Amino acid sequence: MASQTIASPRPAPPAFSRLSITMHWLMLVLLAAVYACIELREFYPRGSDVREALKTWHFMLGLSVFGLVWVRLIARARSPRRPPPRTWTDMLAAAVHVALYGLMIALPVLGWMLLSAEEKSVPFFGLSLPPLVAPDKALAERIEDLHTTIATVGYWLVGVHAAAALSHHYLLRDGTLRRMLPGRP
């Protein structure tokens, strides 16, 4: 009889803190709202009050994502360390998480730069933020292209992240999704 080598069981991942869970779902709601505002504006005529309001909300919610992502990163840095990725799926998950964090930082900064380069006000809940770059039409066009490209990649990243969560829940049945649901210990 051939002997079988049994892999050591993987230690249970640490529980997610209430702050991590709250921030995760808050960021999802904010990102959905940011994307919804910019997509829904297309249904209204250029210059209409509703279209302009949707764009303003897109800017303000995007900047809110930028502020909150730093809170989330600080909370993550202070939480118990997770074991390093051991498998290709762990590495892929880590890469998607890094990309999502990068997206939540890069898109608001690019949006702020875009408005600045277009010499437009950068609204933030009654405040007008200072410009990040000098007015420059050519720069604005390049930034807009980059912002749009990264935003499109964002749809895919969120989709991959959601598919992975559903895979953990329905295929692997490892409790990962349940541990991230609000109201769980």
Question: Any idea what the CATH number is for the domain that residue 75 is in?
Answer: 1.20.950
| pLDDT tens string 98-112 | 999 999 999 999 999
Other C-beta atoms within 10 Å of 140: how many? 19
SS3 178: helix
Q: Model's pTM, two decimal places?
A: 0.86
| pLDDT tens string 37-73 | 999 999 999 999 999 999 999 999 999 999 999 999 9
pLDDT at 7: 44
- Taking only the tens of pLDDT, the chain with its 185 residues reads 444 544 444 455 566 788 888 999 999 999 999 999 999 999 999 999 999 999 999 999 999 999 999 999 998 888 877 788 888 888 998 999 999 999 999 999 999 999 999 999 999 999 999 999 999 999 999 999 999 999 999 999 999 999 999 998 898 888 888 888 887 55
Q: Tell me if 155 is assigned to some domain.
A: yes
Q: Tell me if 159 is assigned to some domain.
A: yes
The chain-wide mean pLDDT, for the chain, equals: 89
pLDDT at 185: 53
Q: Tell me if 10 is assigned to some domain.
A: no
Q: Tell me if 11 is assigned to some domain.
A: no
Q: Tell me if 6 is assigned to some domain.
A: no
pLDDT at 180: 85
The parent domain of residue 41 ranges over 18-79+88-180
Q: Tell me if 96 is assigned to some domain.
A: yes
Number of domains in the chain: 1
Other C-beta atoms within 10 Å of 175: how many? 13
DSSP string, 123-159: EETTEEEPPSS---HHHHHHHHHHHHHHHHHHHHHHH
Q: Tell me if 5 is assigned to some domain.
A: no
Residue pair 32/4 in contact by the 8 Å Cβ criterion? no
Q: Tell me if 23 is assigned to some domain.
A: yes
